[in-house]
Amino acid sequence: MRRTALLVSAALLTSLLPVAVARAADDPPPVPVDRFEGEVPFASPPANGIFTWGSDTDDPPTLQLNARVDAPEGDKVLSGTYDISGYGGFTHDFAAAEPAHDWSARKGIRFWWEGQDNGKKVAFELKDGGANGEASELWTTSFTDDFTGWKQIEIPFSDFAYRTDYQPVGGIDHILGLTEMWGYAVTLPAGAPGRFALDGVELYGRADQSLRASVLTDAAVYPVREGGTAHVKVTVATTGSTPIDEPVTVAYETTGGTASDTDYTARKGEFTFPAGTPSGTTRTIQVPTLKDRAASETAETIPLRLTVTGAKAPAETPQVVIDAHGLPYLDSRLPVKKRVADLLSRMSLAEKAGQMTQAERGAVGTGADITAEDLGSLLSGGGSTPTPNTAAAWAQMIDSFQLRTRATRFQIPLVYGVDAVHGHNNLVGATVMPHNIGIGATRDPRLAQQTGAVTAAEVRATGIPWDFAPCLCVTRDERWGRSYESFGEDPALVESMETVIQGLQGARDGRDLKDGDKVLATAKHFVGDGGTAYGSSTTGTYTIDQGVTTVTRQQLDAVHLAPYRTAVDRGVGTVMPSYSSLDIVGDGLGPVKMHARADMINGVLKNRLGFDGFVISDWNGIDQIPGDYTSDVRTSVNAGVDMVMAPYAYKDFHTALMAEVRAGRVSERRIDDAVSRILTQKFRLGLFEKPYADTSGASKIGSAGHRAVAREAAAESQVLLKNSGGLLPLRKSQKVYVAGSNADDIGNQSGGWTVTWQGSSGDITPGTTILEAMRANSPALTYSKDASAPTGGYDVGVVVVGETPYAEGVGDVGNGHDLELSAADRAAVDKVCAAMKCAVLIVSGRPQLIGDRLGGIDALVASWLPGTEGDGVADVLYGRRPFTGRLPVTWPKSQAQLPINVGDPTYDPQFPYGWGLTTLTKVPDGGAATLKALGIAAAAAERAGADDTGRALVDKARLIVQRKADGHMTADVAAPFADADHLLLTGRYGEAVRKLTQAYRAA
């Protein structure tokens, strides 16, 4: 089309566009924010630019700048497509290195939107105040896409409401100041594919002086003991913190609520902030409560209605609450069982259903729904954190949510949960432990318990009493994206590491749960999540995660169920079912989603194993059950799920559950059982006596003492697979050349579930990288990430390679991942190892395929994902600590061998399960004769129940075999060697030495 024709077409289209609101005669010209002509790049903070985001990898929209003849402004528009399951959208952040923008002289913001007439709400949000766009207050509003074609959307600044989620906890000043603006964001509709186009974002109009002032209260809820006085602080605040231009009058009146006239002294009055009053000036309204003759009462509410003239009124009516008192369930001297029975007998169906409901903290906003829906629990999903992401902010956020429960009849506290799977990994600055696969490599139950204790102390110090850990999966296929969440492939190994439960919870009877350094633990994912078959997943592009585990009943009990038996014996407080399906051979049911398996949850877990805690679903886990949502609710609750994690659908769940009970499809007895289990744990946690955060331990978060435990765990997790000529440990006098992608990357060495769900590369949290730790030990060290620096003149090379972070099915092999080193890593290994003696460290969540490179490598170390304490890795590299780690999983020769596990009839790996050279002790002299003597002594120790002696004898035999088999691994050596490690864990010391003797003869 020729240019003249384009102009004619554009003019015609423009004439057909909806007419914008006419500009008032005295309004100044609009100020452009974005014209999308190329003046703003696609770039992420701290740079100026437009970037996308979403709840998972599929949720961020696609964006492009398109030239269009119908563009309302200029030639181009910002357009995109989306298909969002959780949440997603895009942001324009102004560069953090430049001054913030001042929008205070304007009435509002407007833009052109191409309507699709889908009836969906589109959220539009502003970023106000703070250090930059990612540390600002968020103010939000929305419009409905119920039109077709271009329309100019005008939003006065007075329409924006303050948010509390995903922003500075407590806010900066709770005022839309407009003098320090950092950009805007658009949240697109979820649930169905769509497209959009945006153009001409600009500021319009002149600021309305009457809307520059706001009246705020310091809280939404004011709990007091009966007879006490509530103090409600009322503050006037203005845009730009300037004095108010006109008087602001506040009329107040106590009216309505559940309290009667005899419960408080009524208050009614009025006061005025005169013109010229400084922003931030506060007046206090006192509401006295009265003691009546009732010995026991539920909580009673007294709303304080505020009518404001000359300023914007508070978003909510504040409520004074007279605390519940005198009721038996509040008496901490009574046994928990009696307290539960008393409280349960008083609750309505709606209140019970609320206790069974868990919402994501990002979904409840300021938390009003906690009261309205009687919610029993909130969680932070991976990466759902306050801003700033500090311990104090976490505690303040959770306390603000807990305050909302005080406005309910029985003031039942929330139990807040988080995935602290290797330390308090969502908190920047926390001590990040090695992932479970590394803890399994330590073979050290004492250390596993210590890591759990450190995690519990740091989690509880931020106000969180519940941890969705440990994962007791038995990983059977290294292609699984959750492999690193497992302690290993052998159920006996997983069971031995369950001391972590005592580290988290304390005593088995739960008496320590009320302490300020203990949390409720969760055994997950029940049952068989580590056994899913490759190619069986039907979740998005996942290949194995959330798929089908097909086993005989004997295999199920021996491999996957065994760790849960141990967890129940250890008193674990909660259990989480798996997303996966279980197909038990011969039962005639075929694959059934675990959230629907009443035979396993009610029948096995609760009845056969005697589990007396409560069962919490996984994130939207019930949604994967075939059928509509109502049947999902019915099936899962009847199957034994006690609390449902319905992050954003909590209202739907609450409503559906009540309807199912009223219809008789879920029994009241089932509801009472579920709520009793939940309340029992809340009482054990001491939440009724101390609902708010105890931050007395916050100073220890990331402390030297805690990091020392993580450092020891990192050191003990290192598995020395090969050490030709005793290259390791290194000597400080050696000139060392370091290369590889994972040598200097705290994000890579920490892995997934670190600060965010998927984790990320880079300097994401305080810690010490492997390179930094090595520099402290090597005065003569050169680092070249890609090995491009000259390689001549060095005594030894250390190449640190491996994986980048991932979590869950996103990391499945075949879903954009494999078990091969990257091309850059392979090149670095080849170059360094060709030039000098070299040690290769593999930082990964699972074995990586070395193939024919093994011959050119002098020393090989499986470093797993060591966490933030790279000093632990350096400790063994330089001999400060010995190498003692052993493989928690089999290291395959090729992907074609997978799955491969100890006990398989065909077993021919690169390195067998349990393999791990040591620099701790000298290998005992002798061969077959020494092994025979060790076998006799080990059998005797076994008969005598002398476990420490038996383990020491087996370890000596293992060293003898490893010395002979090193570099000569065959299937005849590997199979009995791996079997011996399993026998060692099960206390069969004599048989373990016999197997090792068999391996020795085959070597």
Q: Which residues contact 296 (CB under 8 A, 6 or more apart)?
A: 325, 326, 327
Angle, helices 928-944/947-965, rounded to nearest 10 degrees? 160
Inform me whether the pLDDT recorded for 678 exceeds 70.
yes
Angle (nearest 5°) at CA 649 between 648 and 653: 145
Nearest to 355 by CA among 131, 678, 670, 116: 678
Decide if 618 is catalytic.
Answer: yes
Do residues 169 and 393 touch, judged by C-beta distance below 8 A? yes
- Torsion from C-alpha of 94, 98, 99, 105, nearest 10 degrees: -40
pLDDT at 940 over 90: yes
Of 512, 491, 494, residue with least CA distance to 503: 512
Residue 13 has pLDDT above 60, yes or no: no
- Span 15-22, average pLDDT: 40
> Is pLDDT at 19 greater than 80 in this prediction?
no
For residue 512, how many other CB atoms are within 10 A of its CB?
16
**543: nearest Cα among 552, 553, 551, 533:** 533
pLDDT value at 23 more than 80: no
Separation between Cα atoms, residue 646 and residue 379, nearest integer Å: 10
Q: Say whether 459 sits in a helix, a strand or coil.
A: helix
Among 803, 805, 846, 814, residue whose Cα is nearest residue 544: 814
Residue 920 has pLDDT above 50, yes or no: yes
**Rounded distance, CA 354 to CA 757, Å?**
27
Mind listing the pLDDT tens digit for each residue in 618-660? 999 999 999 999 999 999 999 999 999 999 999 999 999 999 9
pLDDT reported for residue 851: 84
Task: Match 């003149």 to its residue by tokens.
Answer: 793
3-class state of residue 674 by DSSP: helix
Give DSSP secondary structure letters for 283-315: EEEEEEB---S-S-B--EEEEEEEEEESSBPPS
Q: Give the span between the Cα atoms of 838 and 816, in whole angstroms.
A: 30
Q: How confident is the model at residue 170 (pLDDT cuts 50, 70, 90)?
A: low
Partnered with residue 264 across adjacent β-strands are 289
d(CA 449, CA 456): 10
> What's the pLDDT score for residue 904?
98
Residue given tokens 């040591």 in the structure block = 918
Question: Of 188-192, 892-896, 961-965, where does mean pLDDT reach its minimum?
Answer: 188-192
Q: Is the pLDDT of residue 691 over 70?
A: yes
In the block, residue with structure tokens 């699709």: 116
665's tokens: 């499809």
Kindly report the average pLDDT of the chain as a whole number. Answer: 94
With residue 565 as reference, give the H or E element that holds it. Answer: helix 562-569
- Note the pLDDT of residue 926: 87
Supply 572's token pair. 């674990």
Question: Is 405's pLDDT higher than 80?
Answer: yes
| Listed range (132-136, 586-590, 786-790) with the worst mean pLDDT | 132-136
623 classed as catalytic: no
Lowest mean pLDDT, pick from 446-450, 763-767, 919-923, 955-959: 919-923
Beta bridge partners of 213: 238
Give the Cα separation of 569 and 656 in Å (integer): 35
C-alpha Rg value of the chain to the nearest Å = 31
**How far is the C-alpha of 977 from the C-alpha of 890, rounded, in Å?**
11
Contact between 839 and 861 under an 8 Å Cβ cutoff? The reply is yes
Residue 16, pLDDT > 50, answer no
- In DSSP terms, 176 is beta-bridged to none
Helices (H), 663-745: 668-684, 704-717
The stretch 658-675 carries a mean pLDDT of: 98
Q: Are 833 and 775 a contacting pair, CB within 8 Å? A: no
Confidence at 758, pLDDT banded by 50, 70, 90: very high
Q: CA-CA distance, 919 to 763, in Å (whole number)?
A: 32
- The number of beta carbons lying within 10 Å of the beta carbon of residue 353 is 29
Q: Is residue 18's pLDDT more than 50?
A: no
Rounded to two decimals, what is the model's pTM?
0.87
Among residues of the chain, what percentage have pLDDT more than 70?
96
Decide: 518 and 471 in contact? Cβ < 8 Å: no
The Cβ of residue 926 has, within 10 Å, a number of other Cβ atoms equal to 12
Give SS3 for 754: strand
pLDDT of residue 25: 58
Is the pLDDT at 411 greater than 70, yes or no?
yes
Mean pLDDT computed over 707-722 = 98
Span 469-504, pLDDT tens digits: 999 999 999 999 999 999 999 999 999 999 999 999
| Helical (H) or strand (E) element with 122 | strand 120-128
808, 812, 825, 869: the active-site residue: 808
Cα 90 to Cα 62, 84, 811: the distances in Å are: 9, 12, 25
Q: What is the pLDDT of residue 7?
A: 28
DSSP string, 813-861: BTTTB-SBPPHHHHHHHHHHHHHS-EEEEEESSS--B-GGGGGG-SEEE
What integer pLDDT is reported at residue 4 of this predicted model?
A: 30
Q: Which residues contact 384 (CB under 8 A, 6 or more apart)?
A: 166, 360, 361, 362, 426
DSSP annotation string for 176-237 = ---SSEEEEEEEPP-SS-EEEEEEEEEEES---GGGSEEEEES-SEEEE-TT-EEEEEEEEE
Helix (H, G, I), strand (E, B) or coil at 11: helix
DSSP string, 641-667: --BEE-SS-HHHHHHHHHHHHHTTSS-
CA dist 696 and 517 (Å) reads 10
pLDDT tens readout for residues 715-735: 999 999 999 999 999 999 999
CA 722 to chain centre: 36
Q: Who's near 106: CB < 8 A, 6+ residues apart?
A: 31, 157, 178, 203, 204, 205, 206, 207
487 half-sphere exposure, CB direction, 13 A CA radius: 26
pLDDT at 210 over 70: no
State mean pLDDT over 676-695: 98
668-684 vs 336-346: helix crossing angle, rounded to 10: 130
Q: What is the pLDDT of residue 131?
A: 87
Residue 22 per-residue DSSP state: P
pLDDT of residue 209: 57
Examine the pLDDT at 8 and tell me if it is beyond 50.
Answer: no
> What one-character DSSP code corresponds to residue 480?
S
User: Does 12 have pLDDT greater than 50?
Assistant: no
Catalytic residue among 444, 618, 642, 825: 618
